[in-house]
Amino acid sequence: MFPTPRSDVAPNSFAYEVTPLVKPTGFREYDARWLLGPDLNLLGVEALGLGLGTYVHELGQRRIVVGHDFRSYSLSVKQALTLGLVTAGCEVLDIGLCLSPTAYFAQFDLGAPCVAMVTASHNENGWTGVKMGASPPVTFGPVEMGRLKEIVLGGAFEERSGGSLTLVDGVCERFIADAAARCRLSRPLKVVCACGNGTAGAFAPEALRRMGAEVIEMDCDLDFTFPRYNPNPEDMEMLHAMAAAVRRHGADLALGFDGDGDRCGVVDDTGEEIFADKIGLMLARDLAPLHPGAKFVVDVKSTGLYATDPVLAAHGASTLYWKTGHSYIKRKTAEIGALAGFEKSGHFFFGPPLGRGYDCGLTAAASILAMLDRNPGKRLSDLKAALPVAFTSLTMSPHCGDEVKYGVVERVVADYQTMAAAGGRILGRRIAEVVTVNGVRVALEDGSWVLVRASSNKPELVVVVESTRSADDMRALFHDEVKPRLAARPEVGGYNQEI
């Protein structure tokens, strides 16, 4: 009988070597992430695998794809997870070192309903985690994660005979071929491919070359120490490096990929960063005439321009704002049959005929290059300049502990609801709407807005602001409204970056 996991086992002790350590905070809204060592040991990973296998059988499945990203410890984590899955009687198909979208692709390619991808995505070294699903292209959400947490922490495991492990070759090659086939450039484009020394460096340059691009590789050698910066194309350090490379090489654009390749960041031909919600709007404008009446899904951190865009309206397109998180947007995109879903963090979800519905940085790259190919004579900066004007901040993340962050957000939501009910104003503007589908998005009468929500995968809050007036007004919305409101709460710490 496998022992029940505990949360109070100290590293460097006898108990740590014989007892599964699993901190409850690692079970997030739509995946699992822990600091390996203090929050999770390898026996804890085995317990997670046994719990996942138990749950997979509850769902009437047993065939599951596993893969891992390029970190010094990810292979060991995957092996421990696999041991638990096999003990639970699962048929495990190990596709080796890969990207998260490669594992999602493998569900279709190998006819396996379930997936468990060992990755900490863009989190700093020291973190590990697992992205899971049992019904492609959808991945686990709060209900599934809640049941998994219940099984693992309660020790409600069911060991079964008949488990197996098969090492499967060739999936990564078929994945690259599938992604590359989604774009065939008819004009030359020079593309900086930035990978931050993460896993995407082994796959993205080749895929872009097969699309017909001239590729300038930047930090594509795999190095799990991440010597330059963390592979996160939402962070300004990586974006600034991409921008410098575009200017240095005279490139048409830069495409940056995160640590597990399911996100894509973009810098245009002038060296200006374009956040993913604006790229999504450009893509939606390009696709709407080709797919009249198309539906799009965007997360609450995204620009408000989708709701007012005249091009989308002219072609009968509609946009739904939904909860932030790859699992939420992916699920809602599939649920309503949307052509595409866009998340400001750089997750892009393309439904048929453009993709299979899962988030994939290379499919996003193919769609961006195809958009440029359909607009001969125009550069990416031209397409950006054609958008209506809005000044949107980068995503800012003040520290807030996992145990308290949701309570903090609940109180901030209550503050804004009270303000709105009393006819309150923010920087002289009436509050037009308070949207609480995911934290709180406070829309003002001129279309500007502020957002505060809890991060789903780190001990942080998430803050975004957008102004329809000016960049200075955008900064004022943050510095004069949101920042002091959060600073009044002692649980909220310093920011990763500010505007």
Q: Which two tokens stand for residue 247?
A: 């200017």
Q: Give the separation between CA 363 and CA 345, rounded to whole angstroms.
A: 16
DSSP 125-154: TTEEEEEEESBTTB---HHHHHHHHHHHHT
Helix (H, G, I), strand (E, B) or coil at 109: helix
Cβ contacts of residue 195 below 8 Å, gap of 6+? 201, 204, 205, 217, 218, 219, 220, 231, 256, 257
Question: In sequence order, what are the beta bridge partners of 256?
Answer: 194, 265
> Is 121 part of the annotated catalytic residue set?
yes
Helix (H, G, I), strand (E, B) or coil at 430: strand
Single-letter amino acid code for the residue at 268: D
Among residues 7, 74, 100, 121, which one is catalytic? 121
Q: Which two tokens stand for residue 463?
A: 């803050």
Q: Provide the edge-to-edge strand list for the sheet that holds 63-68.
A: 32-35, 127-133, 114-118, 63-68, 91-97, 164-167
Strand (E) or helix (H) holding 47: helix 42-58
Question: In sequence order, what are the beta bridge partners of 452?
Answer: 440, 463
Instruction: Give which of 334, 339, 325, 348 is closest to 276, Cα–Cα.
Output: 348
DSSP 153-180: HTT-----S--EEEE--SHHHHHHHHHH
End-to-end CA distance of the chain: give it in Å, rounded.
Answer: 53
Active site members: 121
